[in-house]
Structure 1
Amino acid sequence: MKTFILTIAGGGSTYTPGIVKSLLMRKDQFKLEELRMYDIDAERQNKVAVIVKEVVKEMDPSLKLVLTTDPEEAFKDADFVFAQMRVGKYKMRELDEKIPLKYDVVGQETCGPGGMAYGLRTIFPMIELIDFVEKYAKKTCWIVNYSNPASIVAEAIRRLRPNSRIMNICDMPVGVMRNMAAILGVAREELTVDYFGLNHFGWFTKVYVNGEDKLPVLREHARVHGLLTEDMSKVDVQHSDPSWIKTYKNIKYLVDMFPEYIPNPYMQYYLLSDHIVANTNKERTRANEVMEGREKRLFDAVDQYLATGEMNKDAFYVGVHGLFIVDVAISLAFDLRKRFLVIVENKGAIKNLPDDAMVEIPAYITSNGPEPVRVGEIPTFYKGLIEQQLAAEKLLVDAALENSYEKALMAFTMNKTVKSAFQAKQILDDLIEANKEYWPELR
């Protein structure tokens, strides 16, 4: 049986135990010879590894587990790299969210000014990671990348490392499919969807179950309930936090006004920005919810284990985040041609968008990479929104590569969550101050 060396870059993430468990649940199909955790923060990674070691001991005790902060040790002869870096960690995410809110602009991790701040932190560390992989790993190695904000990161990679073997993916559409499946009373794997857009900026146009389009059924449900079931904790513990309940509920407003398609939930930040700001606690954002929730649960479980030897297995959760990245890797490894929503260079797939746009659409995942499904032309309303968002993302990457304050200001002004250039400048200047340690210099 073929075996693989796999490295998780960003090993100190609280998602890592769930990803490892997802991998080991599939060991009969995707056998690991060696699993490596790589992070620049050794202390945090060592804490997360306490849980990971228990998962490995329980599920595959023969598996070699390596913890390292050394790139050569991490990537030497690797077959796969799962990238999930968070540059600046939750301390910087909190600022990404709270600085825009100070000016009554959406504060969010990947959308609006906060997402652009995160993008400027992530572009060059991601390029560095690709270079490490290309230097040390097998020439056939695939990077499967979850690092956010995915559209901005993918655009930078397209320009700076166009030949890299990288699959840019996001679990948000898969999370929506999980909710859709629960509403329809079927398994997520039974759904086949059509979708177009950019990452965190797109629409479901068809949702097939056994060849029948269930979008009309889902649309009627969404108009009343959003994409929620009666008890979301039974669907996904992780996405039953108050902020996620609100996010999935807000879809009802969008579907009621624009019933043609079902939007990615993150479209709320662009199309309902005044409503989002008015209903946000500016002192306690999603970053605080995560730090006080998922992060605290995991690290409390580590402390409990070290003190008592007892492991709280409810401290982490195997959700679509872990399941999806493993599904993609298996399709790459064995040329399965499974159909997933991924981020690819457009190249005519969406006929009336630029060829060089990094779009999120269905593709068949082969051992040579994605084979995108052609979407055709999209209607004017969606095309116009996408082009505005795409322009903001491209200008931001320009700003990073050219060290251009003016291009950054253009990007912030162009973003639909921002109301004026005055507002864009205030937010940008505050974020420059907050990100001195991380951003390229803007002149």
Structure 2
Amino acid sequence: MKLAVVGGGSTYTPELIDGFARLRDTLPIEELVLVDPAADRLDLVGGLARRIFAKQDHAGRITTTTDIDAGVADADAVLLQLRVGGQAARNKDETWPLECGCVGQETTGAGGLAKALRTVPVVLDIAERVRRANPDAWIIDFTNPVGIVTRALLQAGHKAVGLCNVAIGFQRKFARLLDVNPSEVHLDHVGLNHLTWELGVRLGGPDGENVLPKLLAEHGDAIADDLRMDRQIVDRLGVVPSYYLRYFYAHDEVVRELGTKPSRAAEVAAMEKELLAMYGDPTLDEKPELLAKRGGAFYSEAAVDLAASLLGNGGSPVQVVNTYNNGTLPFLPDDAVIEVQARVGHDGATPLAVPALDPLYAGLIANVTAYEDLALEAALRGGRDRVFKALLAHPLIGQYEYAEGLTDRLIAHNREHLAWA
């Protein structure tokens, strides 16, 4: 089995490598190729990756290349974890929206749109290369904004499934609170990527006992603290929202907060510099503790599980993924990409049935899906007017004056990445 990781020079890759090494029985990799245009980072990450495999007695071969075509040749699955423009572009995404009084964040709002515009054309080019190399290869997209990127891939006819670590993070957290094995915890996880709610927490399987009321009663303070939301809000909802919902439920508070501290991108950039220095140490043969602060907890476990299922090598039969709606949420078009529990196998992902949603959730999902329609159109076809319409449609923006100012700023800060600008 051959896997390729595009964006393999990321400082987060050792987390993925550690998972591949530990879970070799679930996903028996014979060859792993790390692909990245940044040769200097690739050398450091690749060296540590080989040492991790060696320490854990993994017999798989790890190679590195800056050539995408060479890297994906004959790959059974390709994982995408790239960041067009790097942390410098992310830093802009998190700062210029604040000038208009809007949230600056890399996956939602104006910053999320900027990332989508930069990313979709690049991902589609990579996917075409994968298809030419091996039409049967699966593409696992971990590149944000996952929902929009996965939709672009699926609409172009690629064998793709989107993946996010929010659900597995909740699963592991709830398992600790309940003192059970994570495999016993199943989530009624519903929504769009980075716009989800845990409507239930079930023990033993998708039809098991719902222990969410017990969790909220006994551990509500801890859950609310992790979300950075008031306990009262979580109790009134009676569900557990993704922490990304804070941008919607406490928008003005978040904007004020973001204006008083360095961007997350600046923090990550400093962390990456330190991590790369560690990776250059030839005695380091495990992922450093600092990596846990980088974000993306449990990504490796989720990636291994999904790849194993898609490649017919076992894996959990039910997983939370991003895939076509196909009638699951009846108020959305079939080709909307949703994030829900799905049955996953070598034929792809099929969402499980979802109960009728409260309008409180369905309304916001429908609104953001409409924005994502316009965002993808802007990413595929370009043009200032399409960017403006996408921004105006986003519920975190929604005002003509804001959309105008944000459109000008988005184009100005991303011109080098926009072929049409």
TM range (shorter): over 0.9
* SS of equivalent to 1:86: coil
- Contact 1:301-1:311 within 8 A present in 2 as well: no
Residue number in structure 1 paired with 2:109: 112
Residue 151 (structure 2) aligns with: 155
SS in 2 for 1:153: helix
The code of the aligned residue for 2:331 comes to: N
Per-residue deviation, 1:419: 5.1
Check the 8 A contact 1:6/1:35 in 2, yes or no: yes
Residue 32 of structure 1 aligns to which amino acid in structure 2? Answer: I
Once residues 62 and 258 of structure 1 are traced to their aligned partners in structure 2, the CA distance between those partners, rounded to angstroms, is 49
C-alpha offsets along residues 184-221 of structure 1, whole Å, 9 cap, x if unaligned? 22232221111211111121111111322111122335
1:378 aligns with 2:357: yes
Which region of structure 1 is more displaced relative to structure 2, 41-50 or 56-65? 56-65
Query: Residue 296 in 1 paired to residue 273 in 2?
Result: yes
1:236 maps to none
Could you give the per-residue CA deviations for residues 248-299 of structure 1, whole angstroms, max 9, x where no partner exists? Answer: 232635414423x221111111121111112224550211222223x13421
1:67 correspondence with 2:64: yes
The letter for the 2-side match of 1:301 is: M
Mapped to 2, the partners of 1:82 and 1:64 lie a distance apart of 17
CA–CA separation in structure 2 for the residues paired with 1:157 and 1:331: 19
Cα separation, 2, equivalents of 1:66 and 1:311: 17
CA gap of 1:301–1:396, structure 2 versus 1, over 3 A, is same
What corresponds to 2:141 in structure 1?
A: 145
Aligned counterpart in structure 2 of residue 279 of structure 1, from 257, 260, 278: 257
Say if 2:335 is the partner of 1:338: no
User: Which residue number in structure 2 is paired with residue 326 of structure 1?
Assistant: 304
1:90 is paired with a residue of what secondary structure? helix
Q: Deviations over 1:136-182 (max 9, x none)?
A: 13x331111101101111222233x1x21111111112112222222
CA contact (8 A) 1:349 1:376 kept: no
> Is the 2:52–2:286 Cα contact (8 Å) retained in structure 1?
no
- Cα distance change on mapping 1:14 and 1:221 into 2, 3 Å: farther
Q: Is the 8 A contact 2:224 2:230 kept in 1?
A: yes
Is the contact made by 2:52 and 2:285 (CA closer than 8 Å) also made in structure 1? no
Secondary structure class of the residue paired with 1:365: strand
CA distance in 2, matches of 1:9, 1:203: 30
Partner of 1:240: none
AA partner of residue 79 (structure 1): D
**1:111-130 equivalences in 2 (<5 Å):** 111-130=108-127
TM-score (norm. length: structure 1): 0.88
The one-letter code sitting in structure 1 at the alignment partner of 2:69 is E
Residue 374 of structure 1: how far off its partner (Å): 1.5
Q: For 2:59 and 2:164, how far apart are their aligned partners in 1?
A: 31
User: 1:311, CA displacement in angstroms?
Assistant: 5.5
Contact 1:251 1:268 in 2 (8 A): no
Match of 1:189 in 2: 183
What is the aligned residue count?
A: 413
Q: Distance in 1 between matches of 2:202 and 2:115?
A: 35
2:202 equivalent in structure 1: 208
**Structure 2, unpaired ranges of 5+:** none
Aligned with 1:413 (options 386, 389, 392): 392
Amino acid in structure 2 at the alignment position of 1:133? V
Alpha-carbon distance in structure 2 between the residues aligned to 1:312 and 1:324:
19
Tell me the residue number matched to 1:45.
Answer: 42
Q: How has the CA–CA distance of structure 1 residues 224 and 335 changed in structure 2, closer, same or farther, with 3 Å as cutoff?
A: same
Aligned to 1:133: 130
SS of equivalent residue, structure 1 residue 203 = strand
Q: Which amino acid aligns with 1:354?
A: P
Q: Note the aligned Cα RMSD (angstroms).
A: 2.0
Pairing partner for 1:266 from 229, 244, 250: 244
- Alpha-carbon shift at residue 335 of structure 1 (Å): 6.0
Partner in structure 2 of residue 22 of structure 1: 19
CA distance in 2, matches of 1:166, 1:51: 29
Alignment CA distance shift 1:223-1:379 (3 Å) = same
Per-residue CA shift, 1:343-364, capped at 9, x if unaligned?
Answer: 1111111123222211111101
Contact 1:352 1:378 in 2 (8 A): no
Q: Which of 168, 171, 179 pairs up with 1:174? A: 168
Say whether residues 1:392 and 2:392 are aligned partners.
no
Quickly say closer, same or farther: Cα 1:140–1:312, change in 2 above 3 A. closer
Query: Runs of 5+ in structure 1 lacking a partner?
Result: 229-244
**TM-score after normalising by structure 2:** 0.92
Contact kept in structure 2, 1:223 and 1:253, CA below 8 Å: no
Percent of residue pairs identical: 30
In structure 1, the residue matched to 2:338 is 359
